[in-house]
Amino acid sequence: MTPFEPLEGADMKHLSLKTVLLLALASAKRVSDIHALSVHPSCTQFAPGQTRVLLKPNPAFTPKVVGSCTPIDIEAFPPQLVSSGEQQQDLLCPVRALHTYMDRSKELRLNDQLFVSWAKPHKGKPVTKQRLSHWIVEAIALAYTSQNLQAPMGLRAHSTRGLATSWALFKGVSIQDICAAASWSSPLTFVRFYRLDVSAPSVARAVLGTLLSRDSTC
């Protein structure tokens, strides 16, 4: 669905917004951790056939909690079967989005930081953590408006951590694996501050269905 698809023809703004949102949802990492990612071959490694990607931060990065910044290992979503019986790439696959973003941004980037600006006068330069947060919020807001819905008040980039981990728990991922992925030392952190009731019907869940469902065509 426009403005995010087709991904290969989307402008750099919407390609960047979709990539950072899918990466935030898939990894459940802090914005500062995503900001520290690098395109250097030692830090970003795609498996053959783009079946998964391993992401490591710039070695110079100091995480908020020392020792908590573990590599991000994301497996690609399997292709979907469309009505014609043919297979189609999953449009919400973060590996697909990341590979496309890196390929299309390589000619404008001026350093190895993963996310760089698409706009003048900072085109090709690394974005700040604050700008990256704005991208995530804008991407979520666009997901709402594409469904003719009003984005909720108080939307923050940090909300993706609770959203991603709560959906993982709802889908059967163990609390230990969730805490390891999100770099939480104790399940209490998740239970007290991040766990959301994603089983209850809501407007937010309807939009999440658009973002997270394997049946989505957006």
Q: 3-state class of 144 per DSSP? A: helix
Query: Within 10 A of 54 (CB to CB), how many other CB atoms are there?
Result: 13
* Residue among 33, 39, 24 nearest 159 (CA): 24
Q: Which residues lie closer than 8 Å to 85 by C-beta, 6 or more apart? A: none
Nearest-5° angle of CA 162, CA 164, CA 167?
A: 100
Q: Tokens in use for 31?
A: 């914005």
Residue 10's pLDDT band (boundaries 50, 70, 90)?
confident
Partners of 126 in the beta sheet?
116
Is 175 strand, coil or helix?
helix
Is the pTM here over 0.95, yes or no? no
Mean pLDDT of the region 109-118: 95
Which of 11-20, 78-87, 121-130 has the least mean pLDDT?
A: 78-87
